[in-house]
Structures are given as structure tokens and as C-alpha cells.
Structure 1
Amino acid sequence: MKYIKQNDHIAYLVYAAADMAAGAGRRPAAEYSGCCGLTVADTHKYLPLWHRLQNSLRQTDFSTCTVDQVLAILETVAAGIPYSTAASGGGNISLYDHSRLTAALAVCLCRYFAVAGISDYRSWCAGAKKSRSRTVPAFLLVDGDLAGALPALHGRSIFVEVLLEHCLGELFAAVGLSRVHLLYSDGGRFYLLAPNIPVVTGLLETAAAAVNDWLRRQFGAALYLTLAWQEADAGALMELTDGRLCNDNPHCARPKKQVSKKKE
């Protein structure tokens, strides 16, 4: 970082985001038992994966591809690689999950700083104001639930997942985000990480209304989407590891209660 001259270089955002994502991955080893297919000792298996990644990227037209397409390439290569190079392997998440979370955090920081009029990324992410940057509520934890007659769809999990993917696609398109911001998705429930700026909350409300309008046309009142969100700072996010822990993380409690109340 010392060789970067511009105070507003995006590398500082990525640096801060990677530090937050690494903090989120520092958990007891028992919580990550078997999370990655490879270990640090499997050195002979890494070179073929590196070659696969190189070949995939060479064949990618970055002038037309989407973030989600690049994400899919990274997943095929890095989902089984541990992020930590520590010999003990304790508290590990995959390199894919770490990279995805880093990207999501960096985007949120960038958009939050832009609205706040902050352009001195060096000071806020790696300098004198770094500690202050951990306390600003730059993030939104968004809790979504595709609810209604889901019990009637028991055994049709593929249908539910496809339907949820459609809803997520509409939300991402409306807010201008990608799948890197998806923390967790299962059984009609999902958690997103979004920048805490006024335009995003407004777009989320508009997008949810549009999705529900489509659901009413397709299924009547049987299915509907509920959304709620909670602002969070970096300290709160560093208590998260992956989307699974949103189920019992205290910072997810408020949006979960809001979603439950909307379903009543």
C-alpha cells in the first residue's frame, strides 16, 4: 500500500474490506470442520487449479461479461481452497467466500463514502481515521423471506429455489448490486449485504413491491416477499462468518423480527 500515491485509490477500499472479511473468518476450527476440500499441505493440487483459472480468464471477454459470470468462474476454482494459509487451518473459510465477501464490503464502502463526501480512502481505510471507519454504519444487513404457502410446496425445493433466484435477480438489478452481496440463501430465506445509503433503501422498497406484484399475478395471495434491514458498522459485520451464522447473530435479530411482524 505504501507505493500507492493517490489518496482516493480503490485499493484502500479493498484493503479495508479484506481486513474485515478476514476478521469475519477468524472463528473456532470446529465451526469450519470440512468447509474446504483442500488443505495447506495439498500443494500439488493447487497448480492445476491455477492453470484452470488462468485459462478461464483468458477465454472471458471482460467488455461484455457480468460480475456474476466472473464470480461463477472463481467459485469453480476457489470454493475448495482454504483462505487461511496457517498450518493449523483453524477458523478457515474458503478463498472463494473470502473474496466474495471482500468484494461486497468494498462496494458498500465505496458507495457509502461517495454519499458521505469522503474521498480520502487512505486516511479512512489505512491511516489515522481507520478506527473511526469501523464505527460508521456503512452497511445494511437485509433479511428477506419468500413466505406464504411454502409448506404447500414441500418436496418442490427446486421450484422454490428457482422462484427465489428470480426474486433475487429482480432485487439485485433494481439496487445495482450483484450476487457477491448474497450472504445466505436457503428455503425461501435470504440475507443480503448492501450499502447503507438512502437510495438503496428506497430501491429495495420499490423492488419488493414490484416482486410482490408479479407474485400476485402468478400465484394470487399464496406467496409474497417480505424485506427488512438493519444498519451495521464494520465491528458488527466482523462478528459474522458466513450466511449460516446470520441465523443466530444478534445483529440479524432486528430485521428478522421485522420480517416476522410483516408476515403476521
Structure 2
Amino acid sequence: MDYETLDIQRDGGVATVWMNRPDVHNAFNAQLIADLTAACQALDADDGVRVVVLAGRGKSFSAGADLNWMKAAGEASEADNFADAMKLAGMLRALSGMAKPTIARVHGAALGGGMGLASACDICIAGERAVFATSEVRFGIIPSAISPYVIRAISERQAYRYFQTAERIDARRAAELGLAHEAVAGDELDARVRAVVEALLQGGPKSQAAGKDLIRAVANRPVDDALVQDTARRIASLRVTPEASEGLDAFLSKRPAAWVPGQQG
């Protein structure tokens, strides 16, 4: 599919989604939100896609909300603002809820909603000049739609600080907070993303999707009888799948599994 604000490149089972509004640092507007929502849904339904990388053209990953879009929202009714906010929240949920592994390739600014995008992806690799912030309070608003993903990434305790101060967070600090999994030199960013992609391609696609679902089911829950039974049922159901059988046979036979690129057929 063609998207007005996105450039999607396919390389085998890897789809790189480039936000393509470099003149405004890939800031959100209604069209970008709609395009990202549709792209996440389409790529998640595409069996030929194994991994999705989210990146930004130009100098920034994403500088958050487009100021003209924000100004128009400020002049609209509360009902219209709610409808717009639901579209943004739906886009972030579509990204976070993808069954496939997602990687944020972050360079330059990842502010406001851009930090939300990085947090909503499973993995974040940041270049050394990347800078993050929940800058909304400086505009008299709050990082509301992105909050579930940012708090999950940096913890409730850290959110109390950064949601109120809007301080800039450099790549090193982002890695310390858990927002970025790695902070690397700018000229190493693409190589590190490729290395993580290669690692992901070694795993079974159905087990990876099940692993993501497992995290959602287990995180922040007490270890009670219901949780123990749920985890036991999940592994029991997966052990009898063709993917598990293939994975075990490949390991015992000392060969790559059928889902590894170049092994099909």
C-alpha cells in the first residue's frame, strides 16, 4: 500500500516503516496518525513480514505533535479533541499490540509522541545523539495517550520526574532508564539494528507472538494459582505445535529451523 506520510521498504521478512515528513521532523498530524495505524494493521496481517522497524527520515525520529495540528485542536470542541485523541491512542495501541517484533530506530529528536512511539515498540536502539522528552507540560498539556507505554518503559517513579520537568533525556540516560535497550554511536546505529533483526529472525514467529502475549499476561500480576495455571497452559499448548516440533528437530539435528531466512523449501 502507498501512504502519504510513510515510506515502507521491504527486505525479505523485514519491513522498515520510515516516517516521511522530514521538513517538520516527522511531527504527528492526522494523516501520519492514520497512515501509521493502517500500516501497523496491514504489516501485522502480512505473513511475509517477520520484523517491523520504525524509523524517521531527515534529522529526527519524531518531534511529537505538529504545532499547527495542536493549534487547530486547541480551537476545536472537547468532543472533537476526544475523537482526535482516540485516533492517536488507537495508533499507539496498534503499534504496541502487533504480534510481530518491532524495533524503534531512533536518531535525533524523539519528543512527546515520538518518545511514545519509541516506548510502544518492543525494542529501542538509539543513536548517541538521540534525545527524548515528555515535553507536553511546556505546552500546558500532558503526555496522556503515550503514558501507558512510557511508564511501562521508564517506570512509574521516573515518570513522576519527567512528566513534570519535561527535561531532555540523552541516549545514555535513556538506556539507563530502560527506555532504550542500547545507545550506540551514530555510525553504528544501522549495524546494531541489523544485528538485532538477525537475532529476531532466528526465533519462531508464532513463539515470538506468544512470548509478547505472555509478557502482557504476566507483568505486574501476583504469582497466584491462576497465574501459575495460565503459564502452564501456554507452554503446554505451544509444545504440541508444528513450530515447536520443527524447532526441537532443528536443534537436535544441528541445522537452522525452517523459519530462518534462506532455509525455506
Q: Report TM bin, short chain.
A: under 0.3
Relative to total residues, which structure has the larger helix share, 1 or 2?
1
TM-score normalised over the length of structure 2? 0.28
TM-score normalised over the length of structure 1? 0.28
Higher relative contact order (CA 8 A, sep 6+): 1
